[in-house]
Amino acid sequence: MASRVIPVDPFDLVIFGGTGDLARRKILPSLYRRYRDGQMPEDARVIGCARAELDDRSYRELVRAALEEFVAKRKRDPEMIDRFLQKISYIRLDATGTVGWKELAKSVRKGVIRAFYFSVGPGLFAALAQHLHQYKITDAEARIVVEKPFGHDLKSARELNSVLAQSFDERHIYRIDHYLGKETVQNLMAVRFGNILFEPLWNAQYVDHIQITVAETVGVAGRGGYYDKAGAMRDMVQNHMMQLLCLIAMEPPSVFDSDAVRDEKLKVIRALDPVAPEDLVRGQYRREGDIPSYQEDVGNPDSTTESFVAMEVHVSNWRWTGTPFYLRTGKRLRARESEIAIMFKDPPHSIFGRQEARSGNVLVIRLQPNEGMVLNVTIKEPGPGGMRLIEVPLDMSFAEALGEEGADIPDAYERLIMDVIRGNQTLFMRGDEVEAAWAWTDPIINGWEERGDLPLPYDPFSSGPEDALMLMHRKGRRWREISDDL
């Protein structure tokens, strides 16, 4: 299967924060890979901006080093890298001052797409937006890209939205949630809406419950300053897990276009019930042997921030009432794994006798590692000796099923940046979606703060606190094992 790459139109992409971690680890390597695959056109240009005293030459060396570090060796072609670097330049610019803005205004070209990536802390968004406006650097088609965290709560998200709205229409603003750029996440929509097989079963009548797990083995060392103010709820649930939940729970949009999809997601968020305290478990990893505790990692011995959260969530609408969604995410867990498991109900009657009754089918959508899907089906155990039933996976690892092309699944950032250039907002969060997600999250956080609830300790590389298991056990269910196998 030859992969089909359609080049995007010529563009000027300005990266504010062009020397930062995100630019070096994700944005620049993604651009290089799109260039290498023929999608970024020859007359595209990338302008890095930051306050550091660099010129084009030294910035290109910084970019070269980033590609060395963050692009797989087999994709590094020295000649391609040289050609890619020729498209890169640097402007020394201060977001909050006057330095660099006139030069930037002169540098961006007329007649090409202009995109501005705000790869800086949110405290600088207002200054960037105002300066872009003041120096007339944007045009009617300009795109601005902003990163998470989009606000700390509803109030700050509203403030950010209104700051951006002073200079840009919603159709110009691309709020990145990189989970939405993952191939499997988009495949979720293809599977749901491209097949007749699943959609009739996709409701409370046939689905017992849904599990969404985002587990990491890493702790928070290195990101402690940010993380300790956020916690798992703000860092993962309000954005990534909410987006996954929406894609599973939403009604079929009439067309696959940005507003139709985002309208349906918004309806899901608005249908979420408040989460009762007994449906919520927060945890924090403790020290074990040489492995430091969360509090040691963040350097705050009194921290009560959660590094783990699990909860039972209800979507109160016609399709889902009666089918809970279980969300679980944490650091320092048993394995690195992100997956969605649709746990179907048992068949209504077992013709094979009671002891042979099996749990229902499971559809597992694996986001990482090993992107792919598995459908567990019940079959007869081979051999003589009566009708014994076993569950076997109908497995579709994308890398295996799609051969070379599957092994080469583009990074989420590659797809998202190209979507920005194409002007396709489907995989980006709209302002009202973000605000609705905070409106649901805020009372949960305020609730535990008001009650003074403390996170429960859990062992590193475990499945989280025991109470998280109880969330399921009390209703006769259990979590799937956290494991890196599909």
Per DSSP, what are the bridge partners of residue 281?
Answer: 310
Identify which of residues 116 and 320 has a Cβ nearer to ligand NAP in the complex. Answer: 116
Give the separation between CA 364 and CA 465, rounded to whole angstroms.
Answer: 24
* Residue 51 C-beta: closest distance to ligand NAP, Å: 3
**Contact range with ligand NAP by CB under 6 A, out of 17-25, 227-235, 263-271, 280-288:** 17-25
Question: Which residue number is nearest to ligand NAP in terms of Cβ?
Answer: 20
Of 119-148, which residues contact ligand NAP (CB under 6 A)? Answer: 119-122, 124, 147-148
Three-class DSSP category at 198: coil
Burial of 319 (0-12, 13-18, 19+ CB in 10 A): middle
Rule CB under 6 A: say whether 17 interacts with ligand NAP. yes
Identify which of residues 119 and 258 has a Cβ nearer to ligand NAP in the complex. Answer: 119
Residues 6+ apart with CB under 8 A from 471: 279, 281, 310, 311, 312, 326
Give the separation between CA 250 and CA 429, rounded to whole angstroms.
Answer: 15
Catalytic, 349? Answer: no
Residue that is written with structure tokens 């583009």 in the block? 410
Rule CB under 6 A: say whether 21 interacts with ligand NAP. yes
Identify which of residues 29 and 253 has a Cβ nearer to ligand NAP in the complex. Answer: 29
Peptide bond into 369 cis (omega under 30): yes
* Chosen residue from 7, 37, 76, 94 binding ligand NAP by CB under 6 A: 94
Tokens of residue 243, six digits: 């987006």
Are the C-beta atoms of residues 388 and 380 closer than 8 Å to each other?
A: yes
Burial of 217 (0-12, 13-18, 19+ CB in 10 A): middle
Among the listed residues 209, 240, 314, 473, the single catalytic one is 240
* Chosen residue from 3, 43, 52, 369 binding ligand NAP by CB under 6 A: 52
Q: At what angle do helices 258-270 and 431-451 cross, to 10 degrees?
A: 20
* Of residues 80, 83, 74, the one with CA closest to residue 43: 83
Tokens of residue 31, six digits: 């651009």
* Residue 99 C-beta: closest distance to ligand NAP, Å: 9
What string marks each residue from 64 to 93 as x (binds ligand NAP by CB under 6 A) or -? -----------------------------x
Rule CB under 6 A: say whether 50 interacts with ligand NAP. yes
* Residue 125 C-beta: closest distance to ligand NAP, Å: 9
Give the separation between CA 441 and CA 482, rounded to whole angstroms.
Answer: 25
Give the separation between CA 157 and CA 441, rounded to whole angstroms.
Answer: 12
* Chosen residue from 3, 58, 96, 98 binding ligand NAP by CB under 6 A: 96
Are the C-beta atoms of residues 234 and 224 closer than 8 Å to each other?
A: no
Identify which of residues 20 and 406 has a Cβ nearer to ligand NAP in the complex. Answer: 20
Rule CB under 6 A: say whether 31 interacts with ligand NAP. no
Other beta carbons within 10 angstroms of residue 135's beta carbon come to 17
What string marks each residue from 101 to 120 as x (binds ligand NAP by CB under 6 A) or -? ------------------xx
Q: How many residues lie near ligand NAP (CB under 6 A)?
A: 24
Give the separation between CA 482 and CA 473, rounded to whole angstroms.
Answer: 16
Of 410-439, which residues contact ligand NAP (CB under 6 A)? Answer: none
- CA–CA distance from 16 to each of 36, 151, 411 (Å)? 23, 19, 21
Identify which of residues 27 and 247 has a Cβ nearer to ligand NAP in the complex. Answer: 27
Residues 6+ apart with CB under 8 A from 37: 3, 5
Rule CB under 6 A: say whether 47 interacts with ligand NAP. no
* Chosen residue from 36, 51, 76, 480 binding ligand NAP by CB under 6 A: 51
Of 196-235, which residues contact ligand NAP (CB under 6 A)? Answer: none
* Residue 97 C-beta: closest distance to ligand NAP, Å: 7
Active site residues: 240
Residues forming contacts to ligand NAP in the complex (CB under 6 A) are 16-23, 25, 50-52, 93-96, 119-122, 124, 147-149
